[in-house]
Amino acid sequence: MSERELYCDACGGVRPFETPPCADGHGPDCPELACTGCGAAMLVATVAVRASRLARRRRRSPHRHAA
């Protein structure tokens, strides 16, 4: 189990969180974490965005609508 410190809403402060045993087979990269103080669960989600899509969005000019 890996451990890291994060803010826990239930405890109201920074607490150590650990990765519980993962039934989905993620191992230490499991997105589920549990507060070691109160047991509150947290899901850490990551989002992958291709850089080329992001660059195309930035190049577009803003649309203006008539009032």
Spans of all domains in the chain: 3-58
| Dihedral (CA of 49, 51, 52, 55) sign | positive
Q: Which residues of 11-49 are buried (b: 16+ CB within 10 A; e: fewer)?
A: eeeebebebeeeeeeeeeebebbbbeeeeeeeeeeeeee
Residue 15 binned pLDDT confidence (cut-offs 50, 70, 90): very high
Sheet holding 41-43, edge to edge: 3-8, 13-18, 32-35, 41-43
Residue 10 — φ and ψ, nearest 5°? -65, -40
Residue 37 binned pLDDT confidence (cut-offs 50, 70, 90): very high
Reported pTM: 0.57
